[in-house]
Structure 1
Amino acid sequence: MTRALNVQWHNLAFSAFIFHEIFDNPLEDETPQSRLKQIGMMSVLYIMHQGHQPLTLSNIVENTGLTRTGVTETVDPLVGRGLLTESFVKNSMGRGKARRFEIAPEILEKIRSFQGS
């Protein structure tokens, strides 16, 4: 299979997996709007991940145009679901702490195994 086709399959598998995880496993008191926002955020984060951009709160705000609070409200349930992992790193000025996220390695591994690559 060509590399371009592999990338397309990987993108499709990621989107389908995320959709399934979020819509089939709603959190308590979660609205459909919240679930849609989470799916959209995961799409943005996946594109940033593929572009080797750090998934920090500041970078996400810059890429989406959302406020820090808006990003936090959407990202926190994704961390709670285990779709993202969170760590704290030094901020760009090297003094404070910044939140950094990663797509959970288990998610990427499940998608790789689904593809058989």
Structure 2
Amino acid sequence: MTIQLTMESGKVYISDDVVAIIAGSAALDCYGLIGMASRKQLKDGIAELLGRENLARGVEIRKVNDQVQIDLYIIVSYGTKISEVAHNIQVKVKYVLNEIVGIHVDVVNVFVQGVRVIS
């Protein structure tokens, strides 16, 4: 599924993977976030930490009734307030996708898959 934007001079089609990578990169800029977690793989209750090359695996893009919904699966740092980290990620992802891509995001859901201690 792609996202279609209509401009003055034509249409632009943006792949979900591109939107997912931009959303994941925006989320990684937020304080308290260790990284993205795989949305499909949860082994023994331990979430797999994804590197920068696999950001799209921790993000799911849905288009429901002309609304764009984004699910982010994250791992947060121990000692941070999880609700504040999640709120900052929601605000940042909405802002970046609106300003860079021009997509109005209606919902950003954040799923905390784990907490890690930074050494």
Q: TM-score, normalised by structure 1?
A: 0.35
Larger proportion of helix = 1
